[in-house]
Amino acid sequence: RLLILDFGSQYTQLIARRVREAGVYCELHAWDMDAQSIREFAPSGVILSGGPQSVHETETPRADPIVFELGVPVLGICYGLQTMAAQLGGAVVPSTHREYGYAQVRARGHSRLLRDIEDHTSSEGYGLLDVWMSHGDRVDVLPPGFSVIAETDSAPLAGIADESRRFYGVQFHPEVTHTRQGQRILERFVHDICGCGRLWTPDNIIEDSLGRIRAQVGRDKVLLGLSGGVDSSVVAALLHRAIGDQLTCVFVDNGLLRLGEGDQVMSTFARHMGVRVIRVDAEERFLGRLKGVNDPEQKRKIIGNTFIEVFDDEASKLEDVKWLAQGTIYPDVIESAGSKTGKAKVIKSHHNVGGLPEEMNLKLVEPLRELFKDEVRRIGVELGLPSEMVYRHPFPGPGLGVRILGEVHKDSADTLRQADHIFIEELRRADLYDQVSQAFAVFLPVRSVGVVGDNRLYAPVIALRAVETIDFMTARWAHLPYDFLDLVCRRIANEVPNVSRVVYDITGKPPGTIEWE
Ligand code: XMP
């Protein structure tokens, strides 16, 4: 397994995902991980990530020297290269020429890291690599034992290596897809240089998790709040395989779910997989609490609190439950750890934990804690969950509650469910579903005039929203074909009663958020 020390680059998680994709287990830890913890981790290799600092500033982060004393290969990327060079006796200077974006690197010599990996060959016979650079400093004097393995015009030491100690550094970012051979370079490092096999596969991940879950919970009973979302669904499937009937899931139908969603969850888990699922029909309770409430934040709070209440009520009816299972995934763990060291910001709050009755005293079991979303999906499919469920667009916790603007009524929810269902069904039929990151309908309580047959209609409006995004922080509205939008609009107008017109949202994020509330 590999250790990645995080110096704060925006790309660090990508390094970890790429290493995992290469079939090698790795963990990401803050750069100041201490010598003893590093020794206990016993990595087969270490990667030092990039970071925003300059090695010149006083008080810049340094890897613990143990990294270079373990006798294992080390790869420094960008800032990681610079700190390695500085720590091992080289010199780093501010570059007169800052490089951001594409660059072409000439591979020099026959380093184990870059040998036979190239995008083009230069007229002198050097391998050329198209890479992504982002840095202001550059290595000026090689540390003892190192030689140059790659250069650009402005960074003569864009890649360095000490082959005997298996220390490598590159100034560019192999983890981003703009570096076309990046994955091969990382695989060369983890497979050939560190000697790690391709063992981190969905099969092995599942086997490994089953063993750990069984060891952790023994014969105890476990409770899980099943939402139908990807993470909790995969947790349910995994726990069920590990401990069978010791698992009880509680599925809260809050009346704000998509069309047929509750039945789908019950059919997949209870009927097909034989998971014990308690379905709580809490529609009235939720809609009752939301009566007369217009403010979006207020609505979110009410939905969150009511969820906790309902979940608590059900949980306290169960006897001998010792564990609460949660779908925490690795990015959540990294974010919370990061916030301790002041690097990353937001911690995802799991609203189904906070309010459990004190006397229940549940311990947490979080079997996805080490997995990235793409790994969670892959093992979900491997565990037999329908891929349609596993690759579904994200759905917000408050559900349709934030897609019905203003006060929530049952008939608006019913109208929205039908319109949304038509939109999604047509997206799937046109093979567009997987090309957009999230798509849904929104219920607008404003009324507009329409005409149906010979009758005047004065009814609410449905807005359609579809976006493309990588990280959901920024997004572009999906440029869906006009013919497609036309078809969806016609179907909604014909099939959903009491909708006067359909509009398509062409707002990016920013300035719009993805949801309307
Ligand atoms: P916004 O609207 O902030 O949405 O651009 C970004 C992503 O987050 C989802 N979202 C939520 N998810 N609880 C959730 O679990 C919420 O209250 C919530 N609000 C927004 C949204 O669907 C999108 O994927």
Q: Are residues 68 and 158 in the same domain?
A: yes
Q: Is residue 116 domain-resident?
A: yes
Check whether residue 413 and residue 381 sit in a common domain: no
**Tokens, residue 266:** 């019950």
Between the CA of residue 27 and those of 11, 79, 302, 469, what are the distances in Å? 14, 19, 37, 26
pLDDT in the model for residue 361: 78
Query: Within this chain, do residues 22 and 164 fall inside the same structural domain, yes or no?
Result: yes
Q: How many domains does the chain have?
A: 3
Does residue 249 sit in the same domain as residue 350? yes
User: What pLDDT is recorded for position 356?
Assistant: 57
Q: Mark which of 193, 220, 238 sits at the end of a domain.
A: 193
d(CA 228, CA 234): 9
As a whole number of angstroms, the distance between CA 118 and CA 111 comes to 13
Q: Are residues 317 and 433 in the same domain?
A: no
233: domain CATH number is: 3.40.50.620
One-letter amino acid for residue 321 of the chain: V
* pLDDT (tens digit per residue) in 460-482: 999 999 999 988 999 999 999 99
Same domain, 224 and 184: no
Residues 6+ apart with CB under 8 A from 273: 237, 240, 384
Please say which residue of 193, 221, 244 terminates a domain: 193
User: Are 161 and 273 contained in the same domain?
Assistant: no
Do 73 and 101 belong together in one domain?
Answer: yes
Which of 254, 303, 438, 514, when mutated, tests ligand 1's pocket best, judged by the most ligand atoms within 8 Å of its CB?
A: 514
pLDDT band of 353, cuts 50, 70, 90: very low
Q: List the domain range (segments joined by +) for residue 225.
A: 202-390
Is 207 a domain residue?
A: yes
Q: Is residue 515 part of a domain?
A: no
- Regarding the beta carbon of 505 and ligand 1, being less than 6 Å apart is answered no
Q: Do the domain assignments include residue 395?
A: no
- What is residue 352's predicted lDDT score, i.e. its pLDDT? 40
Residues 100, 159 within the same domain: yes
Q: What residues are labeled active site?
A: 78, 173, 175
If asked whether residues 169 and 228 sit together in one domain, one would say no
> Is 509 close to ligand 1, i.e. is its CB under 6 Å away?
yes
Cα–Cα distances (Å) from 429 to 67, 148, 381, in that order, read 53, 54, 21
| Ligand 1 center to 256 CA (angstroms) | 15
Q: In the sheet where 91-107 sits, what is the strand order?
A: 26-30, 2-6, 45-48, 74-77, 167-170, 159-162, 147-151, 91-107, 127-141, 120-121
Do 108 and 251 share a domain, yes or no? no
The model's pLDDT over 133-161, given as tens digits with 9 standing for 90+, comes to 877 788 899 999 999 999 988 788 899 99
Query: Tokens representing 73?
Result: 């290969």
* CA 395 – ligand 1 centroid, Å: 7
Query: Under a CB-based contact definition with an 8 Å cutoff, are residues 104 and 140 in contact?
Result: no
- Cα 413 from chain centroid (whole Å): 29
Examine residue 402 and state whether it is found in any structural domain, yes or no: no
**111 with 161: CB under 8 angstroms?**
yes
pLDDT band at 338 (very low <50, low <70, confident <90, very high): low
Give the pLDDT confidence score for residue 515 in this predicted structure: 97
Asked if residue 209 and residue 181 are part of one domain, the reply reads: no
How is residue 351 written in tokens? 């609203």
The reply to whether 143 falls in a domain is yes
Domain C-terminal end among 167, 193, 219: 193
Q: How confident is the model at residue 112 (pLDDT cuts 50, 70, 90)?
A: very high
**Mean pLDDT within 39-54:** 94
Cα 240 to averaged position of ligand 1 atoms, centre (Å): 29
- What's the Cα-to-Cα distance from 500 to each of 422, 447, 451, 506, rounded to whole Å? 16, 7, 8, 20
Q: Which of 98-112, 229-243, 272-286, 485-499 shows the lowest per-residue confidence on average (mean pLDDT)?
A: 98-112
Q: Is residue 401 part of a domain?
A: no
Question: Average pLDDT in the 107-133 region?
Answer: 91
Q: Quick check: helix, strand or coil at residue 118? A: coil
% of the chain exceeding 90 in pLDDT = 82
| Per-residue model confidence (pLDDT) at position 359 | 63
Q: What atom of ligand 1 comes closest to residue 394's alpha carbon?
A: 24
- 278 domain residue, yes or no: yes
Over residues 169-214, the pLDDT tens digits come to 999 999 999 999 999 999 999 999 999 999 999 999 999 999 999 9
The CATH code of the domain that includes 20 is 3.40.50.880
